[in-house]
Structure 1
Amino acid sequence: MEQRKEVKNILVVDDELDMLIFLSNLLMAEGFTVIEAKNGTEGITKARKNPPALIILDVMMSEESGIQIYRLLKFDKQLKRIPVIMLSAIDRDTFSHYQKFESSQPGQSVPEPEAFLEKPPEAEELINIVLELTSMDKNHD
């Protein structure tokens, strides 16, 4: 008898409709439930209402920076343990440099995201990372 796996919610925050559709379809094809948000504020609101197993967050959005939203997530007591995949048109080195600069401010240190992928992500690589992060034990520190 096949064991039924728990369906997990994934929050996708991206202001590009094409990318939102691509990511949603890819994740739904793998059996995940997708919660979509077109900006960071909407994403945080939806995450608080229905905490997801994982968040995929665009770095560069028109209304607010994904880096700012990431920082808000990591300082939020309810949301800080949710793994985050940062998705961006900028390269990882540029992102890391900015992240380190922001974390150098007193009391502003945040951990690196669990994963960083450049846009457009390779479907197989993204799914492998999502599967790995959503199968992790939620009680780890």
Structure 2
Amino acid sequence: MERKKILIVDDDSDMRIFLCNLLSNCGYATIYAGDKTEGIRKIKREMPVLVIIAVTIPKEGGIQMYRELKEDEILKNIPVIMVSTIEKKTFCFYHKFQDAFQDKGFPEPDGYLEKPLETTEVIRLVRALTAG
């Protein structure tokens, strides 16, 4: 049986290694990218069942990447978990402000995890979004 593929996009190599190891130990196949451009390329090539994106990758890359995914007809249904030190309510406020300014509506991410990450919460959310 083929393992479900999850893409982790974070410029922090320690966080990438942590998440890759954690999710691999839970039976998932993991791939990673260090920035938005590499992440988008890997999503299109690998078609993961879930994408985990750090909000703060350089140049608002995490938020821009999320927006690009949700605008793409093929990729928009892939669940996304955003990870950040920024509280969810602050992120959502900023996200909605930007949407109003640009006159576009984007859904909130499927999941949001605040750092420091709680291992059990990461696993619970990933399993819920990948149905297993």
Q: Could you tell me which residue of structure 2 aligns to residue 82 of structure 1?
A: 78
Matches of 1:128 and 1:106, distance apart in 2: 34
Matched, 1:38 2:51: no
SS for the counterpart of 1:111 is coil
Q: Contact between 1:39 and 1:63, CA under 8 Å: does it hold in 2? A: no
Contact kept, 8 Å, 2:6 with 2:49, in 1: the verdict is yes
Q: Does 1:11 align with 2:7?
A: yes
Residue in 2 that maps onto 1:100: 96
Note the alpha carbon deviations across 1:8-27, whole angstroms, 9 max, x for none.
00000000010000000000
Q: What is the DSSP-based 3-state SS (H/G/I as helix, E as strand, rest coil) of the residue aligned with 1:81?
A: coil
Unpaired segments ≥5 residues, structure 2 = none
| 1:78-137 residue CA offsets vs partner (Å, 9 max, x unmatched) | 11000000000111111011110122145521111011111121111100100010018x
Residue type of the alignment partner of 1:74:
K
- Name the % identity: 48
Q: CA offsets, 1:45-65, max 9 Å, x none?
A: 000011100000000012443
Provide TM-score, normalisation by structure 2: 0.94
- In the alignment, structure 1 segments of 5+ residues that lack a partner are 137-141
Higher-Rg structure is 1
Asked if 1 retains the 8 angstrom alpha-carbon contact of 2:35 and 2:61, the reply is: no
